[in-house]
Amino acid sequence: MNKQEIAEKLVENHQKFVDFATGLSEPDFMFAPTDKWTAGQQLEHILRGVSPVTTALTLPKFVPRLLFGKAERESIDYEALVRNYQSRLAAGSKAGGRFIPPPIGFEKRDELKTKLLATVSELAKRVEKFSEARLDEYVLPHPILGKLTIREMLYFTIYHVAHHHKYALQILGK
């Protein structure tokens, strides 16, 4: 995917998930099987994942390079990134630390919607400011996948929300 396609997919996938989650009734929004997340918690989890990527892309371009280094390999494609992530999940990897959402009440629904869509919109704008080459030059840390190029992190962000959307649909039998 080129940067324009990435920016469009970021907005599209997040909008679909937000529309789904915020369109749920209160009982559905608050429902989760034991030890699983509600739709509200999944919204919060997605926001907690998108926010640091957006922040990283707002920093002067030399800062990620200083903090995390430069890519020592070429970026993998979207499908390969998804396979790697699914493989890690199958091996037992899970979200941890700051990415685990607290309980989320129904009253937080609209606030989460607004914050997530604004953050994704800003991320899409930031993607446009990078050259295609720079997306493959710098790396960012991912808690499960290790160092990813910025392009790969954006691929992950596109997939991650779709993964949670699919999961939420399954939980609710929709």
pLDDT in tens, 70-123: 999 999 999 999 999 999 999 999 999 999 999 999 999 999 999 999 999 999
Token reading at 74 = 């070429």
Domain definitions of the chain by residue range: 3-172
pTM over 0.85: yes
Tokens 């679909």 belong to residue: 16
- Beta pairing partners, 146: 142
State the residue for tokens 């629904």: 109
User: What dotted CATH number matches 3-172?
Assistant: 1.20.120.450
